[in-house]
Structure 1
Amino acid sequence: MTVRMDNVGIVVEDLAATIEFFRELGLELEGQGFVAGEWAGRVTGLGDQRVEIAMLRTPDGHSRLELSRFVEPAVIADHRRAPVNALGYLRVMFAVDDLDDTLTRLRAHGAELVSDEVVRFEDAYRLCYVRGPEGILLGLAEELDRPAETPPPTR
Structure 2
Amino acid sequence: MAIQRMDHVGIVVDDLAAATAFFVELGMELEGEAPVEGRWVDRVVGLDDVRVDIAMMRTPDGHGRLELTKFRTPTAVGAEPEIAPANTLGIRRIMFAVDDIEEVLTRLRTHGAELVGELAQYEDRYRLCYVRGPEGIIVALAEQLS
Is the shorter-chain TM-score for this pair beyond 0.5, marking a shared fold? Answer: yes
Partner of 2:135: 134
1:32-59 deviations in whole A, cap 9, x for unaligned? 0111011101111112200000000000
Partner of 1:152: none
Q: What runs of 5+ residues in structure 1 fail to find an aligned partner?
A: 146-155
How far 1:3 moved relative to its partner?
2.6
Deviates more, 1:129-138 or 1:49-58: 129-138
CA distance in 2, matches of 1:142, 1:3: 28
Partner of 1:110: 112
CA distance in 2, matches of 1:36, 1:2: 28
Q: What amino acid is aligned across from residue 114 of structure 1 in structure 2? A: V
CA distance in 2, matches of 1:27, 1:89: 20
| Equivalent position SS for 1:16 | helix
Partner of 1:95: 97
The number of aligned residues is 144
Q: What runs of 5+ residues in structure 2 fail to find an aligned partner?
A: none
Partner of 2:37: 36
How far 1:90 moved relative to its partner?
2.5
- Is the 2:84–2:136 Cα contact (8 Å) retained in structure 1? no
TM-score (norm. length: structure 2): 0.94
> What root-mean-square deviation, in Å, do the aligned CA atoms of Structure 1 and Structure 2 show?
1.1
Deviates more, 1:53-62 or 1:3-12: 3-12
- Is the 1:82–1:89 Cα contact (8 Å) retained in structure 2? no
Q: What amino acid is aligned across from residue 130 of structure 1 in structure 2? A: V
Report the identity percentage: 61
CA distance in 2, matches of 1:88, 1:47: 25
Q: Which stretches of structure 1, 4 residues or more, deviate above 4 A after TM superposition?
A: none
TM-score (norm. length: structure 1): 0.89
